[in-house]
Amino acid sequence: MKNCYGIKLIDDRIQVFDFATAEYLKNNGEKVWLFNEPDFWPWLERKIGYQGELLSFLVITERDTFDIPESFHLETNNGITEEAYNEFTPDDQLITILSYPAIGFTKKVLPKKNTVLNEVADILCEDNKNQLVEHYKNKTKEYDRC
């Protein structure tokens, strides 16, 4: 995933992740800083030592759009793997996920299994009310410890 970068822009705070090194790029020692678009792109060019090579971007933002300047040359196929994509993108549904160039997969959000409800259903099938009361007492003790 050489020359593939992840950009998170949320609440006007930005961070850049280099997928090749699996590290965040720091600006004055900071992993997250206030976004200023006119300063950001020249900073990124200097930081990655951009010499016209082909790049891929994965952008996570609250904004509807986020444009990559034409001075950056984009790969014809995005080099970000599906695994890296799933690890980098949050489960939050209030964000926009953009990729440059476009990628052919989306985040797989698996529904969380409600194990407590499944356990209750199993207990109810046994039709034993005392066991149900005991079960909830044990679960309450478990949650109190957390």
pLDDT tens by residue, 80-115: 888 888 888 877 666 788 888 887 766 554 444 445
Give the pLDDT confidence score for residue 26 in this predicted structure.
95
Q: What are phi and psi of 116, to 5 degrees?
A: -65, -45
Instruction: Tell me the whole-structure pTM to 2 decimals.
Output: 0.67
Identify the CA nearest to 87 among candidates 116, 107, 112, 103. 107
Residues pairing with 14 in the sheet: 9, 33
State the DSSP H helix or E strand holding residue 124, giving kind and residue range, or none if neither.
helix 115-126
Average pLDDT over residues 1-19: 91
